[in-house]
Structure 1
């Protein structure tokens, strides 16, 4: 075992350098100022305690002052965006729920950020996925993320940030039209399995239900995040950039988990965090330090005037 104080080498994709852990220089193409920075939050921009470091706050503010737009692109729902809403300047928009919602972080009626666009998962598709996964993976349980909040099956391990959520079988959550809360658009279907390997569960979900939705994951447990067909961080980011006349080549993206892969592939330049999932480490044009080491800020600073 390597002693904690000793740097260890990481194997990098072809075309990048081998960087010892703890080195403060990101690998990848030469720095050139982008027009837009797209960054994931958990495991990427945020520290492990869900805070934003002073260095990262300064880098984000300096980027926008230099005319670079910053988009937070996350699997989080709108109601969990308070961790970064104070650090958005200019446009104030974020892409949430893996691309299913565009959110105005400057507007917070009754403490909630305003959703300005949705790309929902159709109920019929959601039900087909529920039935397919139940048959293929006994023991699976579901939650339904809507624009107004989340609803759980009783067996699903609920999130502590959502103490007011309701509980019912997924078939009821997706078909009961008598409850106004269940009439809201479905942003994500979540599927949890207590014993499956996370990557194998993702592959199984795509095999049995991929015709009805987009499957991904961002948790270290066997938790699938399922969006409407064609909905991803990448597709919603591409739409937002097209509206602004920004091309993929003018975008730099940061991420760490499989739900970031499509966005990282779409962007002209992409950086994997040193703590990223192995597939992400192999998929990007560059690498940076871990989220605990301000890896995003380290790269952003190379775009800014000296």
Structure 2
């Protein structure tokens, strides 16, 4: 990560990259008026706001509408660059389904039965869940299939994993130890350990979006709450963790703000864009 930049030297950035769940979104899947006002202040100053989220493009589209955002969004943990104006993917990387099955088998050989779900690729891709899988966000739509083999019927951007007894940290640690180069393992929220294409992170998607916008890492301040935001913090000039963030992210953040429920993003933006 770049060295912290003193506020006395710099008070604004040209690119504001925010995660959604646990960061800009409140627990009830809404944006506070204060957060919306802060983002309007950012826009008035000529800076860009970019959503960088683990949610796939179809699950981000209605949230972008609420944000009145019609530009780019980084979705699927960096595997998708979505153009909301055109409702199309400018770029996407899929996870090889045979590799995904092999990775699942390796993890289950270590920890026992897992429950899996997948996000299909594309702007109309579905979230499919196998028997026994519980969605960590009950408000998100998902289609239950009859057996695991049905998960692989169409190209996918990632696999979501749950274990009946292991914690997210334990599951993610074991998965990383056995998956190797088959996939990238991330932890993006409570009950959300994921497999995505090898080498793909939020940073790869953010870098591609910034290139499209003509902006650079040194122009960027990033906000997040989970370990999947670490690559984004490493890429950006400044990383701001929420008070509710995972300890791994707080350890590498330049600053810790208040929680997502207490408008932590807005607290910082109001200071950066007075």
3-state secondary structure, aligned to 1:243: helix
Contact 1:61 1:87 in 2 (8 A): no
Q: Secondary structure at the match of 1:64?
A: helix
Tell me how far 1:123 sits from its aligned partner.
1.6
2:183 is matched with which residue?
213
Paired position in structure 1 for 2:111:
137
- Secondary structure of 2:13's counterpart equals coil
Over residues 248-288 of structure 1, what are the superposed CA-to-partner deviations in whole Å (9 max), with x where a residue is unaligned? 11110000111111111211111011111111111111121
**TM-score scaled by structure 1?**
0.80
Say whether 1:286 aligns with 2:245. Answer: no
Instruction: Report the secondary structure of 1:38's partner residue.
Output: strand
Deviations 1:104-145 (A, max 9, x none): 3345xxxxx543321111122212111111211112111121
Deviation at 1:173, TM superposition (A): 2.6
**Deviation (angstroms), 1:163:** 5.3
Of residues 232, 245, 257, the one that matches 1:276 is 245
Which residue is 1:20 aligned to? none
Residue 202 of structure 2 contacts residue 232 of structure 2 at CA under 8 Å; is this kept in 1?
A: yes
1:125 is aligned to: 99
Distance 2:59 2:85 in 1: 14
Q: Indicate how the Cα distance of structure 1 residues 197 and 129 shifts in structure 2: closer, same or farther if over 3 A, else same.
A: same
Change (3 A) 1:266 1:60: same
Equivalents in 2 of 1:93, 1:45: separation in Å?
A: 17
The counterpart of 2:151, out of the listed 173, 189, 194, is 173
Paired residues, number: 265
CA–CA separation in structure 2 for the residues paired with 1:220 and 1:161: 15
The residue aligned with 2:217 is 248
Q: How does 1:190-269 map to 2 (within 5 A)?
A: 190-221=160-191, 223-269=192-238
**Structure 2 Cα separation of the partners of residues 162 and 288 of structure 1:** 27
TM-score of the aligned structures, taking structure 2 as reference length: 0.89
Contact 2:74 2:209 survives alignment (8 Å): no
Q: Secondary structure at the match of 2:199?
A: coil
In structure 1, distance between residues paired with 2:33 and 2:266: 10
| Alignment deviations for residues 135-168 of structure 1 (CA, whole Å, 9 cap, x no partner) | 1111211112102101222122246445561414
Structure 1 spans left out of the alignment, 5+ residues? 1-14, 17-27, 108-112, 175-181
Bigger share in helix: 2
Matched, 1:34 2:13: yes
Taking a change above 3 Å as real, the CA distance of residues 164 and 189 of structure 1, as seen in their structure-2 partners, is closer
State the distance in 2 between where 1:65 and 1:235 align: 28
SS in 1 for 2:16: strand
Give the distance between the partners of 1:284 and 1:262, measured in 2 at CA.
Answer: 11
Query: Which is greater in Rg?
Result: 1
* Distance in 2 between residues matched to 1:283 and 1:189, nearest whole Å: 26
Corresponding residue of 1:187: 157
Q: What stretches of structure 2 of length at least 5 have no aligned partner? A: none
CA apart distance, 1:195:
0.3
Distance in 2 between the 1:249 and 1:267 partners?
6
* Structural RMSD (CA): 2.1
For residues 276 and 161 of structure 1, what CA distance do their matches in structure 2 show?
21
